[in-house]
A and B are shown apart, each in its own frame.
Chain A
Amino acid sequence: MEEKKIINVKNLSVSFSNNIVINDIDFHLSRKESLVIIGKSGSGKSVLLRCLMGLLKPDHGSIEIDGINIVNANRIDKENALKNIGVTFQNGALFDSLTVWENITFKETKFFGFNKQKAKEKALLIIKNLELDENILELYPSELSGGMQKRVAIARAICDNPKVLFFDEPTSGLDPITGKIINNLIEKTVIKLGVSAITITHDISSIENLASRIILLDNHKIAWSGKPNDMKISKNKIVKQFLVNT
């Protein structure tokens, strides 16, 4: 049972000076599961994800990734554990001095001596699956629309065949139609690659496509967690409030 959990979080607490953001929460991500974390804006979703990426040290608690507790592991173990995670940031976070294909194959192109033709072909293969056009490969991120940037960010995250994918608000800042397309693409990608995924969002429509399980963050805690279908019929006050407000 235990090794089915690719990420296991226990007693996690995070605060900034005196501002408690996450207060003692436990949850896990199973293999090939697609977990969606929802919550109001400012409820600590991005902070939680930053802890899981090893970018933020929690006050208390443990975060096991592939059996390694990244909170107190040594540098090499931590780097190895985090190697298998691909991340799409809320704003895309593409390298604006690099072209699209250089962004996607960054792990190779940051060194001399990579095969340019091969790298471009690799990037092309990935973006075709994300319904992007070949001729954007040579463009810079600033020349792309918001939806394209999100897709290039996804392409960069999946380029190296990670085992786990994180998506931080993949539909934020997009119109509803583009948002839907992105959600569908994420769903397809997660299934196709056979990865585990955590998507955080305050957009309820993301859930219908993506979630095999949902966690609702509220007031620094997990207020509710369960299957998407159970959410609609839940009697939980906070769930109802969330559904009404969104």
Chain B
Amino acid sequence: MLKIINLLGKVSLSTIENIGKLTLFIFKSFFWLFKTPFYSKQFLFQLLDVAFYSLPVVGLTTFFSGMVLALQTFSGFDNFNDESTISKIVLTSILRELGPVLAGLMVCGRVGAKMAAEIATMRVSNQIDALQTLSTRPIQFLISTRLLASIIAVPFLVLIGNIIGVFGGFVVATFKLDLNPILYMMSTIDNFNLIDLIQGLVKALVFGIIIAIISCYFGYNASGGAEGVGRATTISVVTASTLILTSTYFITALFI
């Protein structure tokens, strides 16, 4: 019994400690963004990596989601197989939910894992200490730049993903379901709702912050050689994707 209480105490203490550390880490990452020097080289390098190189996977996944949405709607709602219903369901689901969540999860797997592994490797091989001895604040140089890149890149990817996803729906609706392309397109434009787009972009922004902060946090606090790097990578991907899928609920609730 005592052992259990002891264990519970330890776990809750370390949880509280971690939350405190994470809060400080978030604060520092944003704080140093607004201080000189701004490491534009490092930032652009990261931006290219997150935004440009994630385009293929984000494009591919959203394209197929748009297609499957159109197909499912068609077979699922026998009585509403008209252009207006299908285009509306495809458009709103993509804009509000599927675009941001898919892009978020893809970027989390591709970029988040990379950020965590890179920074953890730098930690366990003393490269982060070396940065400090070379008059370079590690958080400003490594974390703030990645955070900003992610904040800009994820909404950008979601925007592109939205367009591709809606197009995917259009392709299935017209080529496979024999709906009228002009009517489908007209009703897509008719059904467009700015607030849906904004909801998705707010999510994208939050996901961008989650991915960069969580990956960098676990990478930055890694210890224990190659195994520690692996551990940091796994836990950051699991934590960030869990947070993405839970936070999307709460953001949705805000918009309803």
Instruction: Please say whether chains A and B are actual partners in one complex.
Output: yes
Binding site for B on A (CB under 8 A): 50, 53-55, 79, 82-83, 85-87, 89-91, 93-96, 106-107, 110-112, 156-157, 160
**Among B38-46, B204-212, B248-256, the stretch in contact with A:** B38-46
Q: Closest A residue to B121 by CB, please name it.
A: A96
CA distance in complex: A106, B42 (Å): 12
CA distance in complex: A112, B44 (Å): 11
CA distance in complex: A86, B134 (Å): 8
CA distance in complex: A39, B82 (Å): 82
The 25 listed contacts between A and B (C-beta, < 8 Å) are A53-B129, A54-B132, A55-B132, A79-B135, A82-B133, A82-B135, A83-B135, A87-B130, A90-B126, A91-B125, A93-B127, A93-B129, A94-B130, A95-B122, A95-B127, A95-B130, A96-B127, A106-B134, A106-B136, A107-B136, A110-B141, A111-B39, A111-B41, A112-B40, A156-B134
CA distance in complex: A160, B130 (Å): 14
Contact assessment for A85 and B133 in the assembled complex, using a CB-CB cutoff below 8 Å: yes
CA distance in complex: A239, B191 (Å): 85
Binding site for A on B (CB under 8 A): 37, 39-42, 121-122, 125-127, 129-130, 132-136, 141
Contacts of B141 in A (CB 8 A): 110
Contacts of B37 in A (CB 8 A): 111
Contact assessment for A110 and B41 in the assembled complex, using a CB-CB cutoff below 8 Å: yes
Contacts of B133 in A (CB 8 A): 53, 82, 85-87, 157
Main secondary structure of the interface of A (DSSP, over half): loop
CA distance in complex: A23, B254 (Å): 55
Q: What 3 A-B pairs have minimum CB-CB distances, sorted nearest first? A: A93-B126, A93-B130, A87-B133
Contact assessment for A93 and B125 in the assembled complex, using a CB-CB cutoff below 8 Å: yes
Contacts of B42 in A (CB 8 A): 110
Among B37, B129, B130, find the residue whose CB has the most chain A CB atoms closer than 10 A: B130
Contacts of A95 in B (CB 8 A): 122, 127, 130
Contact assessment for A110 and B130 in the assembled complex, using a CB-CB cutoff below 8 Å: no
CA distance in complex: A120, B169 (Å): 54
Task: State the Cβ distance, B111 to closest chain A Cβ, in Å.
Answer: 16
Main secondary structure of the interface of B (DSSP, over half): helix
CA distance in complex: A53, B134 (Å): 11
Contacts of A106 in B (CB 8 A): 134, 136
Task: State the Cβ distance, B174 to closest chain A Cβ, in Å.
Answer: 47
Contacts of B129 in A (CB 8 A): 50, 53, 55, 87, 89, 93
Contacts of A94 in B (CB 8 A): 127, 130
CA distance in complex: A85, B127 (Å): 16
Task: State the Cβ distance, B93 to closest chain A Cβ, in Å.
Answer: 40
A93-B126, A110-B141 in contact; A53/B136 too (CB < 8 A)? no
Q: Closest A residue to B38 by CB, please name it.
A: A111
CA distance in complex: A22, B98 (Å): 56
Q: Closest B residue to A112 by CB, please name it.
A: B41
Q: Closest A residue to B130 by CB, please name it.
A: A93
Q: Closest B residue to A54 by CB, please name it.
A: B132
Task: State the Cβ distance, A34 to closest chain B Cβ, in Å.
Answer: 19
Task: State the Cβ distance, B177 to closest chain A Cβ, in Å.
Answer: 49
Task: State the Cβ distance, B135 to closest chain A Cβ, in Å.
Answer: 5
Contacts of B130 in A (CB 8 A): 87, 89, 93-95, 156
Contacts of A85 in B (CB 8 A): 133
Task: State the Cβ distance, A110 to closest chain B Cβ, in Å.
Answer: 7
CA distance in complex: A160, B136 (Å): 13
Q: Closest A residue to B127 by CB, please name it.
A: A93
Contacts of A53 in B (CB 8 A): 129, 132-133
CA distance in complex: A25, B211 (Å): 44
Contact assessment for A91 and B126 in the assembled complex, using a CB-CB cutoff below 8 Å: yes
Contact assessment for A107 and B135 in the assembled complex, using a CB-CB cutoff below 8 Å: yes
Q: Closest B residue to A84 by CB, please name it.
A: B135
Contacts of A89 in B (CB 8 A): 126, 129-130
Q: Closest A residue to B141 by CB, please name it.
A: A110
CA distance in complex: A112, B132 (Å): 20
CA distance in complex: A83, B141 (Å): 17
- Extra inter-chain contacts (4) besides given A82-B132, A106-B134, CB under 8 Å: A89-B130, A93-B125, A96-B125, A110-B42
Task: State the Cβ distance, B248 to closest chain A Cβ, in Å.
Answer: 34
Task: State the Cβ distance, A91 to closest chain B Cβ, in Å.
Answer: 6
Q: Closest A residue to B129 by CB, please name it.
A: A55
Task: State the Cβ distance, B44 to closest chain A Cβ, in Å.
Answer: 9
Q: Closest B residue to A162 by CB, please name it.
A: B133
Q: Closest B residue to A89 by CB, please name it.
A: B126
